[in-house]
Amino acid sequence: MHALGAILDDTLENAFVALALTLPGEADLAREIGRDVDPDAIFAARTALRAEIGTHLAGALAERYARLTGTAPYHPDAEGTGRRALRSTCLDLMVAARLPDAIAHAARQYQIAGNMTDRMAALAALSLCDVPERAAALDDFHARYADDPLVVDKWLSLQATIPEPATLDRVKALTAPPAFSFANPNRVRALIGTFAMANQTQFNRADGAGYDFLVETVFALDGKNPQVAARLITALKSWRVLESGRRALAEASLRRIAGAPSLSRDVGDIVQRALAAD
């Protein structure tokens, strides 16, 4: 903690400080563990460490965040990018530690943001907290950008990564028109692909519901867009490193797909590769 606190000074570049304060992702940690991986345990440990860092550095984070907050025009240069990155990192750790006014800071940053980077960073911080400000910001974001397909994809992806038990039902609800269409590959990748690839706890649920949803989606897509369906299955490529309960459920899901009649060559090839012995 002392080392992390020592880098929060003005002698180092903002981008470097932001990177140094950012923990490895859950998927990165799982790869390092390499066997009997429990996504819930990784999530709990990483969340606790982020909260501890935020609490230990509370004063320095709040002070740095305040100094990085300004009304200067957006500039896509290295200095501006570094400033925004560190500001977002400070906000993320403040929210993780549930520091006083952290949610208010995130909600205000969302509202006054003069660029998409700051607005998305605030929304991402809020997304980790089940608070009224999150729901309000998500609704506002969609209302603002409903006519911009690429930004709506960001909105879908963010919701797909919320690490809460209700997220699977949220993702299923978001597959309804008009915001979503299975005929739109970008939408499928943004919502379902992100859920399967990036939400380690909720895709790898201990009850197997995340895997069941993936299988159902693959079956629905295979006749229409086998390339996208095959890409989704790669979320299960590391099934052997999971702990025994999840490993059995993931293997059963792959074999369920493999046993389906009339599979496309794309899907069949990916499934057989995933099931092949090392």
pLDDT given for residue 106 in this prediction = 97
pLDDT given for residue 27 in this prediction = 95
Separation between Cα atoms, residue 169 and residue 108, nearest integer Å: 29
Lookup: tokens for 129: 């907290």
pLDDT given for residue 178 in this prediction = 85
pLDDT given for residue 71 in this prediction = 66
Single pTM value for the model: 0.93
* Fold designation for 1-145: Zincin-like fold (1.25.50)
pLDDT given for residue 10 in this prediction = 80
Contact present, 170 and 176 (Cβ < 8 Å): no
Q: What angle do CA 101, 106, 112 make, to 5 degrees?
A: 120
Contact present, 14 and 69 (Cβ < 8 Å): no
Mean pLDDT by groups of 10 residues along the chain of 278 residues? 81 94 96 96 97 95 91 81 95 94 96 94 96 96 96 97 97 92 95 98 98 97 96 96 98 96 94 84
Say if 1-145 and 146-278 have the same CATH topology.
yes
Q: Per-domain residue ranges for the chain? A: 1-145, 146-278
Separation between Cα atoms, residue 21 and residue 52, nearest integer Å: 12
Q: Which CATH class is domain 146-278?
A: mainly alpha
Contact present, 130 and 103 (Cβ < 8 Å): no
